[in-house]
Structure 1
Amino acid sequence: MEIDEIDRRILRALRRDGRLSNTKLAELVGLSTTPCWNRVRALEQAGLIEGYTALLNQTGLGYPDTVIIEVTLDRHDDEIFDKFGQALAELPEVMEAYLLTGDYDYLIKVAVAGTAGYEEFLRRKLYKLPGLKHSRSTFVLRCLKKTHSVEP
C-alpha cells in the first residue's frame, strides 16, 4: 500500500495517542470523519497499524529495573532455536527478545525488581531454558529514548 502525507499524519497522531476518537483524529489531520475512518481502516487492513495497546508503567508494577541480557546457545540447529525461543516468549519478565547475528544468539530485555529479582529470574527461569550455554547481563541505568514504532 502506498501511503501519502495524510496517512502519515494519521499514523503519527495514532502513534502518539492510540485512544484518539475518530472525530479528534480527523480534526488533527484535516479530514472529515468518514474519510478519516476509511483511511484508518485501510491502514489497519494493510497491516500498517498492527494493533492498539496500553503502555503499562514498569516501575508501578513492581519491576523498576531493566536488564539487557546477551545469550549464547550451546548449539545452532532449528530444534534448539525453536525450543529456546518458545520458552523465552513465555516468560512474563521478558519485554523484548531478538535473534541476532554476531557473537551472541539472542538479545533480551527483561524487567526485574532489583538485584534480588534479577538473581531469581536467572536462577529460576533463564538458566532452566533449553540450550543455554552462556549469558552476559547489563543493568540499564537510564532510558534515553523509548518508542514502540518507527516515525512514519
Structure 2
Amino acid sequence: MQLDDLDRQIIELLQQDGRLTSQDLARQLDVTAVTIRNRVKRLEDDNMMRVVAVTDFSAAGFEALIAVGVEVQNRSAEEVARELARFEQVFSVSLVSGTQDIEMLVVAEDFEALQKFMGEELSRVAGISNLSPALALDVMKFQFNAAPLS
C-alpha cells in the first residue's frame, strides 16, 4: 500500500496527539470527517498504522534502562526470545545476527530490582549461555514512532 500526502498528514497529526477526533483532523486538513474516518480505518486495516498509548519509562518510575545481548546454547534462540518476551521488565526483544543471538531492552525501578532480574530471574531461562548488559547512562533519543512514512 502506498501512502499519499493525506495519509502522511493524518499519521503525523495522530503521532503528535493520538486523541484527536475525526472532526479535529478534518478541520486541520480541510477534508470531511467521513474522509478521515475512512482513511484511518484503511490505514489500520492495512496494518500501516495503530493508534496506541505510549508510556515513558522514566515518567513511569523506572530508573534503569539496559540493553542486554544474549548468547544462546542448546536451545533455539527463538524459543529463548519468546520466553524473555514474557517478562514485564523486558520491553523489546529481537533476534539478531552477529556475536549475540538476541538483543533486548530492559527497564527496572531501581538497581536492586535490576540485580534481582539479572541475577535471579534470567538465570532460570534455559539456554542462556552469556549475557552482555550495557546500562544506559543517558537516553539521547527515545522514538516509538520509528517507521518512516516515505
Contact 2:92 2:105 in 1 (8 A): yes
Matching of residues 3-152 of structure 1 within 5 Å: 3-49=3-49, 51-75=50-74, 80-149=76-145, 150-152=147-149
Per-residue deviation, 1:80: 2.5
Unpaired runs of at least 5, structure 1: none
**Cα distance in 2 for residues equivalent to 1:57 and 1:148:** 10
The 3-state SS of whatever aligns with 1:103 is coil
The 3-state SS of whatever aligns with 1:136 is strand
Contact 1:18 1:52 in 2 (8 A): yes
Return the TM-score normalized by structure 1.
0.88
Tell which deviates more after alignment, 58-67 or 7-16: 58-67
**Cα distance in 2 for residues equivalent to 1:14 and 1:45:** 16
Per-residue deviation, 1:87: 1.1
**Cα distance in 1 for residues equivalent to 2:128 and 2:67:** 16
The 3-state SS of whatever aligns with 1:59 is coil
Per-residue deviation, 1:23: 0.9
Per-residue deviation, 1:125: 1.4
**Cα distance in 1 for residues equivalent to 2:78 and 2:2:** 35
Q: What number of residue pairs does the alignment pair up?
A: 148
Alignment RMSD (CA, Å): 1.6
**Cα distance in 2 for residues equivalent to 1:69 and 1:110:** 7
User: For residue 41 of structure 1, what is the amino acid of its counterpart?
Assistant: K
Per-residue deviation, 1:46: 1.0
The 3-state SS of whatever aligns with 2:76 is helix
